[in-house]
Amino acid sequence: MVALILLGVSCRPDPVHEHDVTKLGNEAAGVPTGPLHRPGQPCGTCHGTQGPAESRFALGGTIYRDPNSASALGGATVRIIDWTGAQYSATTNCAGNFFIRDSDFVPSWPVWVKIEYSGKTAEMISADFRETSCNACHADPAGPSAVGHAYFSEQDAGAPAGSCP
Amino acid sequence: MSSKALLMALGVAAVACASDALDASSSVDVPSGKDFAAVSLVLESNCGTLDCHGHPARNFRVYGKQGLRLFGDDTVGGADTRDDEVRATYQSVISIDPEALSRVRSQGGAGVEGWIVVAKARALQYHEGGVRLLAGSPADTCLASWASGTLDSSSCFTDDFGPIPRAGESW
């Protein structure tokens, strides 16, 4: 009896995680599930070990052109270097999204991040010590516990790479 | 033993344990907050990012410019760390196992690894964030010396955690 109760408790879904997933809301109209969906949202909520997405991300996020607009920066290279010096890079798509699957690279935390675009580089000031979702901290609006969306340049990021089809 | 008796026994045991841990007659002597700004710098950069102890859901909170801000009109990365934020971090630190911290101080720093903040930072105890302060490193020395009551402030401005790429270094 006790064993059955314990089994029931251990199999119960994590209500905090369930809440976090639900809080993300529905998919945007006209954007199918895939690499272009949910820009600005914390990828790791669904693409972490608890799912529900099937693909698992070691790191993912969305890069915007500047701090004041929601204009995505496509075609940027996001480079990371981890504590051991291991490096990996990914390219942002037209939605500004990038992701690194955990089947491709698993960093030894912390990691440091920089963005390269159009011959220029922007480096993140602090390290990422564990968070697989860049957008978890880089959430809008900026405030006492959120830094605002991740952006490449204070002013002009250069020629736009175009928008998503 | 009936289930009622078992519950009563457990309840008595729980109260006995609680009263031992919360002995109102004990007093603690924690390090001063006077020189804590230097220690706060180390904690901000090594512990206080938004994904770790700069998260408002954490009981051990670290406040500062690049992490959690104390005041609602401040933004992450905005104004420099304020004195009130240093004080809030100090209050946060001394509230973590103050009896052990007091013991470390009274022993001149001996057994500092027994204070949970140092133990976690060195990952001597399970720590979700792993090793954050390498034992003997300047940042570790800063925290440990402060805990012992004799702050080595010269160690508080050097951060040598791992092969961190610095500004100007190529990678």
- Please tell me the distance in Å from A42's CA to the nearest CA on chain B: 12
User: How close, in Å, is residue A147 to chain B by CA atoms?
Assistant: 5
Burial of B163 (0-12, 13-18, 19+ CB in 10 A): middle
Residues in B touching A148 (Cβ below 8 Å): 75-76
DSSP sequence for B42-98: HHHHHT-STTTTTSTT-SS--B-TTSB-SSTT--TTSSPPPHHHHHHHHHHHHTSSH
- Residue-by-residue DSSP string for B17-33: HHHHHT-TT----PPPS
Cα gap B153→B112, rounded to integer Å: 17
- The count of other CB atoms within 10 Å of the CB of residue A163 is 10
Count of CB atoms within 10 A of residue B151's CB? 22
What one-letter code names the amino acid at A57? F
Distances (CA, A) of A64 to A32, A104, A116: 21, 24, 13
Q: What pLDDT score does B162 carry? A: 45
Q: What is the mean pLDDT of residues B8-25?
A: 51
Q: Report the domain count for chain B.
A: 1
Q: Is residue B162 part of a domain?
A: no
**B78 to chain A: which residues are within 8 Å by CB?**
142
Query: Who contacts A107 (Cβ-Cβ below 8 Å, separation ≥6)?
Result: A58, A59, A80, A82, A83, A86, A88
Q: Which residue has the tokens 């993300």?
A: A24
Pick from B49, B55, B128: CB nearest A127: B49
| pLDDT for residue B20 is more than 90 | no
Q: Which chain B residues are Cβ-neighbours of A67 within 8 angstroms?
A: none
β-partners of residue A72 are A64
In a domain, B34, yes or no: yes
Please give the distance of CA B129 from its chain centroid, rounded to a whole number.
Answer: 13
Helices B138-148 & B36-46, crossing angle to 10 degrees? Answer: 140
Q: Do A129 and B49 count as a contact with CB atoms less than 8 A apart?
A: yes
The answer as to whether B15 is a domain residue is yes
Smallest CA–CA separation between B59 and chain A, in Å?
15
Stated length of chain A: 165
B91 in any annotated domain:
yes
- Contact present, A118 and A81 (Cβ < 8 Å): no
Domain span at residue B81? 3-156
Q: How far is A114 from chain B (nearest CA, A)?
A: 10
The confidence score (pLDDT) of residue B6 equals 54
Residues of chain A with pLDDT under 70: 1-12, 156-162
For each of the domains in chain A, give its residue range(s) and CATH number, in order of start: 2-25+36-137 (2.60.40.10)
Burial A1-39 (b: 16+ CB within 10 A, else e): eeeeeeeeeeeeeeeebeebbeeeeeeeeeeeeeebebb
Q: Does B69 touch chain A (CB under 8 A)?
A: yes
pLDDT at B26: 67
State the pLDDT at residue B131: 85
Q: How much is the average pLDDT of B138-154?
A: 93
Q: Is residue B166 part of a domain?
A: no
> What is the C-alpha to C-alpha distance for residues B132 and A109, in angstroms, rounded to an integer?
10
In a domain, B111, yes or no: yes
pLDDT of residue A103: 96
Residue-wise pLDDT tens digits, B59-75? 899 999 989 999 999 99
pTM, whole model, 2 decimals? 0.79
Mark which residues 95-114 of A lie under 8 Å from B by CB.
109-110, 112
Q: Which residues on A lie below 8 Å from B128 (Cβ)?
A: 130
- A147: nearest CB among B50, B130, B171: B50
Contact assessment for residue A83 and residue B132, using Cβ atoms and an 8 Å cutoff: no
Whether the CB of B56 is below 8 Å from some CB of chain A: the reply is yes
Residue B164 lies in a domain: no
Partner-chain contact A144 B130, CB within 8 Å: no
Read off the pLDDT of residues B107-124 as tens digits, 9 standing for 90 and up: 999 999 999 999 999 999
Q: Does residue B75 fall inside a structural domain?
A: yes
Indicate the pairing of strand A87-91 with strand A77-82. Answer: antiparallel
